[in-house]
């Protein structure tokens, strides 16, 4: 799996937030030479207030109908855009913000301390394992799925990190979105559902209120 906090995802967010000239900026060959070592800089992209208009984070969390004590794993958490919001909306729960980039993990840990989010735990994941310290009620991946290598193996293994009745939510850019990563890097929702089925999941719910992304919720299939 490529780095969870990938440059492509960041550039997609930047384009949607209006920080770049347009989607073509994400196709520049020079972008592959950039690093995510400066989390402080990337927080200006990930956490830009303009993102709320199209990402609709509160609507996303409300749609997931989580219990106040839910255990949530935000894989590819970056600077904590979703992790912090999950923490505020599930005050009795725990939120594991997982990233493979050490500076992002440190940034999230510092943010949690600074904002008094005692229920946020920053986790350094591996490319093939999020290394969750406990089973989760919800595992969510926002603009991350298409970056994972050997997805069937990854998500089969991820089943062991879910509680009984746990869910996996996948949000990623639609094929017809005017913003986002290059279309060659995107995956259609039908393909996502097919790959997740092979990994042992069934599509449980699909939300259509996001303007640029699909929002699919899966549960492990009964064996």
- Domain of residue 12, CATH code: 3.40.50.150
In the numeric block, which tokens belong to residue 129? Answer: 């394992």
Backbone phi and psi for residue 48, each to the nearest 5 degrees, phi listed first = -60, 125
Helix or strand run (H / E) with residue 217? strand 213-220
5 CB contacts (<8 Å, ≥6 apart)? 36, 42, 76, 78, 99, 100, 101, 104
- Is the Cβ–Cβ distance between 66 and 137 less than 8 Å? yes
What is the model's pLDDT at position 195?
A: 98
What is the model's pLDDT at position 115?
A: 96
Please report whether residue 1 resides in a domain: no
Beta bridge partners of 202: 219
Please report whether residue 204 resides in a domain: yes
Pairing of strands 120-124, 136-142: unpaired
pTM to 2 decimal places: 0.84
Beta bridge partners of 121: 96
The parent domain of residue 193 ranges over 7-30+40-220
Residues in the chain where the model's pLDDT stays below 70: 1-44, 47, 223
| Helix, strand, coil percent values for the chain (each to nearest 5) | 40, 25, 35
Total of domains in the chain = 1
What is the model's pLDDT at position 37?
A: 52
């Amino acid at each position: 799996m490529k780095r969870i906090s990938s440059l492509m995802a960041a550039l997609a967010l930047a384009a949607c937030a209006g920080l770049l000239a347009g989607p073509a900026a994400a196709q520049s060959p020079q972008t592959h030479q950039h690093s995510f070592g400066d989390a402080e800089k990337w927080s200006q992209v990930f956490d830009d207030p303009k993102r709320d208009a199209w990402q609709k984070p509160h609507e996303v969390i409300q749609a997931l109908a989580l219990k106040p004590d839910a255990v949530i794993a935000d894989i590819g958490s970056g600077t904590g855009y979703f992790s912090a919001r999950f923490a505020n909306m599930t005050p009795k729960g725990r939120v594991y913000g997982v990233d493979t980039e050490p500076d992002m993990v440190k940034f999230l840990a510092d943010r949690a301390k600074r904002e008094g989010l005692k229920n946020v735990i920053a986790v350094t994941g591996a490319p093939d394992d999020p290394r969750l310290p406990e089973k989760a009620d919800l595992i969510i991946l926002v603009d991350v799925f298409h970056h994972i290598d050997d997805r069937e193996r990854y998500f089969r293994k991820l089943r062991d990190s879910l509680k009984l009745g746990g869910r996996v939510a996948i949000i990623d850019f639609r094929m017809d979105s005017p913003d986002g990563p290059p279309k060659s890097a995107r995956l259609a929702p039908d393909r996502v559902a097919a790959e997740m089925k092979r990994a042992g999941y069934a599509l449980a719910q699909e939300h259509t209120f996001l303007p640029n992304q699909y929002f699919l919720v899966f549960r492990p299939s009964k064996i």
